[in-house]
Amino acid sequence: MGRARGGARRGGRKAGGRDNTKHKGGTGELLFMLEAALRGLGVSRPFVDNERYDVIVDAPRRLWRVQVKASGAMHHQGFAVRASWRSSEGAMPYTAEQIDFLAVVIESRRTRGRRIWYVIPVRALGGRLTINLYPFGCRKDGEKRFEKYKEAWRLLG
């Protein structure tokens, strides 16, 4: 066991118990809001945490509801992202009645400190519960369906 001070690791986890999906999700949301603001978009968060979207983007034409996901989970040559929410009945796909966009930030050793963003319209998800993103390319043509949304911030403007 390591020390718990100064960001040291304890038993393979970050000190303070922050190496979990809730923390990673919150960090992803903050990164999205910062990136959107730097691009000149207004951003806000719902006061309570009972909506399917995490962030509201105030674009010149309208307000967008955005669900933010953070991934570093490698899947073959890409990254697996859960494009769903959980209910008592199990995993449920996001719908156009709930969100307008799914924003995904990818950070891993393979990205070498770079953040790679995907801004995907909810309709493009087609009811999928999980999607795979291949920012470095893949062998299968069918797996490139979401690559046109890589760094597609223009869709929010």
What's the pLDDT tens digit per position in 121-143? 999 999 999 999 998 887 666 56
Q: What mean pLDDT comes out for the span 60-77?
A: 88
d(CA 19, CA 112): 19
What's the pLDDT tens digit per position in 90-109? 999 999 999 999 999 998 77
**What is the reported pLDDT for 102?**
98
pTM of the complete model: 0.83
